[in-house]
Structure 1
């Protein structure tokens, strides 16, 4: 049967209580979400023999999450990915935001949404369970304009699909780009997780955004065809490439331009599978981009490239790029984004059947 439960999960350094929401469905899939950072703490799915295991990297305590610099499993914002020089123009005004990666701002700044305690409300329906997380970000938060009210819903349905739905409204023009920063390892995601070089990844994109050494896009999309960025097989093939974009980043850390652009309904973005365990996952999204990050720089207890992030989002530095999909949210409008993580098999093709 479907089940949902809430448990204490310690306190933040300033004493704020944190809770762990546990969602479970009969097909053997179980998700745990923390109110700290909106973190996907655990996500358990069965292997080909029906044996379940957690497939996202996690830490055991709030204290360790508070020290984490890799955004393990967190909801990130106000702006996921990078904004060059920690500034952007909006309606003729240049807004200066908090830098936290050299001169640039990454994932909303040093005290972004990944450091906040969200409120949580659970729900149960006929064929799904979930938790609604809410956060108020005041005008001037990390330098971003406008009061922003954010609602993120994690839903687990009877098929084992984990859906993340994002909504936000503002009282003055601002920029918004939200994503979920889970680190996936389908062979099992404990501290001794095996490298993901044996995982197979297909990305539904014909182009990617080349970046400078600091991860900021160079300003043009480049075709994936004929390059290591034409991801349609073992990740190790791309990671062993001597392509300067890959060697310069120490692996993949690039935004892929998804076919179809920003969409009203979810469409396929990526298919990840692990031949050893038989587990596979499909990512479907409404977003125009997918940041593929092969965990090139992870702190203890994890090893580099022991997981892969599949971050559905708008393009990096879009607030400074008129040629990128607009990230601007205005009063009276609603930011809305949906991403689904569907259980699949290695042989599954992109279809609407679940």
Structure 2
């Protein structure tokens, strides 16, 4: 087990549901620790170029830690709707649904008690695979329909963490699920991520207004600090005098992925990150139309790492595969509507490696 994590610190009961800690491990020694509270990845150990293992995701040593301010969405599955919905409202077939305004006037990541804050049923399929399931009842956090969700995580011997989402509903609804690990490939709590090199396979992004809600436009990245089509450091342009960076305090934007499936599963290459010092790399593949790149702008050092260091500003990055923010209120965006009789499916793959 991880030297910083005691399994007994995750054995508890929340509103009658039991919580626990679960571990996946592959032949390369990569280990991923999950709790069924929020389907959170608590720790993820990968090797550097010298074979040294390091925990590369932010998190807490205890279950109670996730209730403290600033731990937010560390490592969690996000739903029912990942990202922001303007004014906490959307309409389906003439009926307006009102959601919590838990991010200024926006609804963010499912509301006050989203999928990150509930206990899931867990099924350890084998040493390298686990599945979580739950039915979100009709009206939970204001969303319509009984939504039955299954999320399967598989850690392959090719060092891929494969995430498969499925959902069905008995009433017309909206759904947009994602994974929200905060990554630092130097190791969690080991400074900021501005020296990480990143490439994002997107010619366009969705610019936002002062509430970080997309304006509805698809803007070209060409000639702007938003351009990651060619690998560059996260910090290279992050402090440029550019309206979109000013609004978000850095990067917190949805990128419109170029559609170019790269393997037999018809997944699109979305992003690649390299940490030069450790040599660790991470690639992201998905069937989703977008990916949210967040550069940890709102972190402030008030939360301690599992090693006892502070999680400083820009101490992690997130790459969240998704449909676009506020899609229910933007007819021009890909639809997030799910009807009875249909199945929502989404795939995200994080592939870990080292620089060759």
Q: Scaled by the length of structure 1, what TM-score is found?
A: 0.91
Deviation sequence 1:234-253 (CA, Å, 0-9, x none): 11113222212112211100
Aligned to 1:26: 27
Classify the secondary structure of the residue corresponding to 2:341.
Answer: coil
Aligned to 1:300: 303
**CA–CA distance in structure 1, aligned partners of residues 260 and 119 of structure 2:** 32
Aligned to 2:121: 119
Cα RMSD, aligned residues only: 1.8
The question of 1:217 aligning with 2:217 is answered: no
Which of residues 305, 321, 343 is equivalent to 1:312? Answer: 321
Contact 1:37–1:74 (Cα < 8 Å) also in 2: yes
Instruction: Note closer, same or farther for the CA distance 1:346–1:227 as it changes in structure 2 (3 Å cut).
Output: farther
**CA–CA distance in structure 1, aligned partners of residues 22 and 117 of structure 2:** 18
The 5 A counterparts of 1:65-76 are 65-69=66-70, 70-76=72-78
**CA–CA distance in structure 2, aligned partners of residues 317 and 16 of structure 1:** 32
Aligned to 1:334: 343
**CA–CA distance in structure 2, aligned partners of residues 13 and 340 of structure 1:** 30
Classify the secondary structure of the residue corresponding to 2:216.
Answer: coil
Classify the secondary structure of the residue corresponding to 2:235.
Answer: helix
Aligned to 2:181: 182
Deviation sequence 1:196-237 (CA, Å, 0-9, x none): 010000000000111012110011011011111111211111
**CA–CA distance in structure 2, aligned partners of residues 247 and 12 of structure 1:** 43
Deviating more after overlay: 318-327 vs 6-15: 6-15
**CA–CA distance in structure 1, aligned partners of residues 276 and 335 of structure 2:** 38
Could you tell me which runs of 5 or more consecutive residues in structure 1 were left unpaired when the two chains were aligned: 1-5, 348-354
How far off is 1:262 after superposition? Answer: 10
Instruction: Note closer, same or farther for the CA distance 1:249–1:242 as it changes in structure 2 (3 Å cut).
Output: same
Which of residues 191, 197, 200 is equivalent to 1:200? Answer: 197
Classify the secondary structure of the residue corresponding to 1:65.
Answer: helix
Aligned length: 337
Q: Scaled by the length of structure 2, what TM-score is found?
A: 0.91
The question of 1:168 aligning with 2:167 is answered: yes
The 5 A counterparts of 1:1-354 are 8=8, 9-11=10-12, 14=15, 16-69=17-70, 70-124=72-126, 129-190=128-189, 193-231=190-228, 232-260=231-259, 265-298=266-299, 299-301=302-304, 302-346=311-355
**CA–CA distance in structure 1, aligned partners of residues 261 and 111 of structure 2:** 25
**CA–CA distance in structure 2, aligned partners of residues 164 and 23 of structure 1:** 13
Instruction: Note closer, same or farther for the CA distance 1:246–1:346 as it changes in structure 2 (3 Å cut).
Output: farther
Aligned to 1:3: none
Classify the secondary structure of the residue corresponding to 1:59.
Answer: coil
Could you tell me which runs of 5 or more consecutive residues in structure 2 were left unpaired when the two chains were aligned: 1-5, 305-310
Classify the secondary structure of the residue corresponding to 1:246.
Answer: helix
Contact 1:134–1:150 (Cα < 8 Å) also in 2: yes
Contact 1:12–1:62 (Cα < 8 Å) also in 2: no
